[in-house]
Amino acid sequence: MSRTRLTEPTDRGVVRLLRLENRVGTASKFYTPIVEEDPAVPGAFRCRAEYGRIGGHVSNTIKATGSALTCERALEDLAREKQRGGYAIVLDRRGTTGAEPSAAPTKEPPAESAPAGRSSAAEDLGDLLEQRKRQAIWAF
């Protein structure tokens, strides 16, 4: 049996990558769901999972295929299921596809003062919601 090392996927074609690890007690396992462009079908996506013991053999499986949204939902479902089983998110990275900008959050200059009639907490929440909306637009 050959040992395979976990390789960091290139940004080319990768839409989203999560790395979950379980190091509770004697466990030393990882689970990495990846949403990427399907190389066999132009314009389609797939949710692929790499898993195994940390430092050991890496296994691969395809969990979902179809649209980017379908695969993103499958990735979120897999992450929730693994977190219930003791895994913790170690890495959450978004890649780029084509010439679209990265989904990395943009840093905006801080507001000078809160406008009259609006509290600073409400302004922070409004800014956060606006930032998430921009991220969602560029995510797919």
* 20 C-beta neighbours (distance < 10 Å), count: 22
Q: How far apart, in whole angstroms, are the C-alpha atoms of residue 33 and residue 49?
A: 4
- Average pLDDT value for residue range 5-20: 69
For residues 41 and 66, is the Cβ–Cβ distance under 8 A?
no
- Average pLDDT value for residue range 27-40: 92
Task: Identify the CA nearest to 17 among candidates 44, 37, 40, 41.
Answer: 37
**Using one digit for the tens of pLDDT, what is the confidence trace for 63-94?**
999 999 999 999 999 999 999 999 999 999 88
**Using one digit for the tens of pLDDT, what is the confidence trace for 14-28?**
889 999 999 988 989
Question: Can you list the domains of the chain with their CATH numbers?
Answer: 1-104 (2.20.140.10), 105-140 (no CATH)
Q: How far apart, in whole angstroms, are the C-alpha atoms of residue 20 and residue 33?
A: 9
Range from 22-26, 35-39, 95-99 carrying the lowest mean pLDDT: 95-99
Per cent of the chain over pLDDT 70 is 59
Q: How far apart, in whole angstroms, are the C-alpha atoms of residue 87 and residue 37?
A: 26
- Which single residue is written with the structure tokens 């790395």? 19
**Using one digit for the tens of pLDDT, what is the confidence trace for 109-130?**
444 454 555 445 555 666 666 6
